[in-house]
């Protein structure tokens, strides 16, 4: 557990008094945010863990500062079922629709989701409220959620131009299949893991209903490229996960996306 936590917030280079730290924090972020942090400490730091973590972890402190309003109003750092929160996130995006219409908005939303999940996981790990199994399962559930949302957005985006991919034998609409490999495949992602994935689809064919038609292979290759961009691109809010696709057949020299027949 110590190795897990050290990656997430590192060894503190020095310790300042709690009063000094809070004073500097209040001066930097303003009185309203200062009051919210104090409320957070009062609410959850009966053993002094929150003060210790805020002093010693620049990573955790940065997350607290960026998400102070959420922490003060809505967050429950003792919650044990973040997978349910991820389901809620997906449902909200589907209901609102707007986030799935804008690449910029969705890119930000996915990174905020990651940051809040990390804040929750690091806090629970530091205060020994959780074991390693919960951390691994939560990170894996986060990755699964992000991949589903990214695939849905990417397919809808490409379909506006090319229509939807139709199987030449079944005549049915096809969808991109993402296969988790490595730690993701075993549902064992830790705080620093990248995600090893392969992309596949069922049937060859071509798109129908768009302004122009392309092969299913080309359609899903473009979808996969956009999925990687949504998850792996580093913005001012960071990235969601590093994406590694080198475990596919023939590695980097092979096709990014393959049909089931080609995989066989």
| pLDDT (tens digit per residue) in 48-89 | 566 677 767 778 877 877 777 777 665 566 666 677 778 888
Ordered by start, the domain boundaries in the chain are 1-75, 79-263
| 3-class state of residue 245 by DSSP | coil
Of the candidates 172, 254, 180, the one whose C-alpha atom is nearest the C-alpha of residue 221 is 254
pLDDT of 100 above 50: yes
CATH classification number, 79-263, choose in 1.20.140.10, 1.10.3720.10, 3.30.460.10, 3.40.50.10360: 3.30.460.10
pLDDT value, residue 89? 80
pLDDT value, residue 201? 96
pLDDT of 40 above 70: no
Query: CA 45, CA 51: separation in Å to the nearest integer?
Result: 7
Query: CA 241, CA 145: separation in Å to the nearest integer?
Result: 12
Q: How many other CB atoms are found less than 10 A from the CB of residue 15? A: 11
Q: At what angle do helices 82-96 and 132-162 cross, to 10 degrees?
A: 20
Query: CA 183, CA 200: separation in Å to the nearest integer?
Result: 19
Q: What is the model's pTM?
A: 0.81
In this predicted model, which residue has the larger pLDDT, 131 or 203? 203
What are the pLDDT digits (tens) for 116-170? Answer: 888 888 877 777 666 788 888 889 999 999 999 999 999 999 999 999 999 999 9
Give the percent of the chain with pLDDT over 70.
Answer: 73
Query: CA 97, CA 129: separation in Å to the nearest integer?
Result: 36
Secondary element (H or E) of residue 244: strand 243-244
CA distances from 87 to 2, 73, 126, 262 (A): 30, 20, 25, 33
Query: CA 106, CA 112: separation in Å to the nearest integer?
Result: 10
CA distances from 207 to 96, 158, 164, 167, 261 (A): 27, 10, 5, 9, 19
Local structure of residue 101 (DSSP, 8 states): G
Secondary element (H or E) of residue 103: helix 103-126
């Amino acid at each position: 557990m110590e190795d897990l936590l050290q990656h997430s917030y590192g060894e503190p280079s020095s310790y300042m008094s709690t009063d000094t730290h809070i004073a500097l924090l209040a001066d930097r972020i303003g009185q309203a945010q200062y009051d919210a942090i104090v409320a957070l400490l009062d609410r959850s730091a009966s053993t002094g863990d929150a003060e210790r973590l805020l002093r010693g972890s620049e990573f955790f402190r940065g997350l607290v500062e960026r998400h102070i309003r959420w922490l003060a109003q809505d967050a429950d750092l003792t919650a044990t079922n973040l997978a349910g929160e991820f389901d809620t996130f997906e449902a909200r995006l589907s209901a609102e629709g707007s986030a799935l219409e804008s690449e910029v908005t969705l890119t930000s939303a996915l990174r905020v989701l990651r940051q809040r999940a990390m804040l929750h996981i690091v806090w629970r790990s530091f205060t020994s409220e959780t074991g390693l199994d919960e951390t691994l399962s939560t990170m894996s559930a986060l990755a699964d959620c992000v991949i589903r949302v990214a695939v849905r957005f990417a397919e809808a985006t490409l379909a506006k131009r090319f229509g939807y991919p139709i199987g030449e034998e079944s005549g049915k609409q096809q969808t991109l299949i993402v296969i988790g490999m490595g730690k993701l495949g075993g549902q064992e992602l830790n705080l620093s893991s990248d995600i090893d994935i392969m992309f596949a689809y069922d049937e060859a064919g071509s798109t129908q209903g768009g302004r122009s038609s392309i092969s299913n292979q080309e359609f899903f290759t473009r979808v996969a490229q956009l999925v990687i961009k949504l998850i792996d691109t580093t913005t001012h809010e960071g990235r969601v996960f590093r994406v590694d696709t080198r475990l596919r057949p023939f590695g980097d020299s092979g096709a990014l996306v393959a049909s089931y027949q080609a995989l066989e």
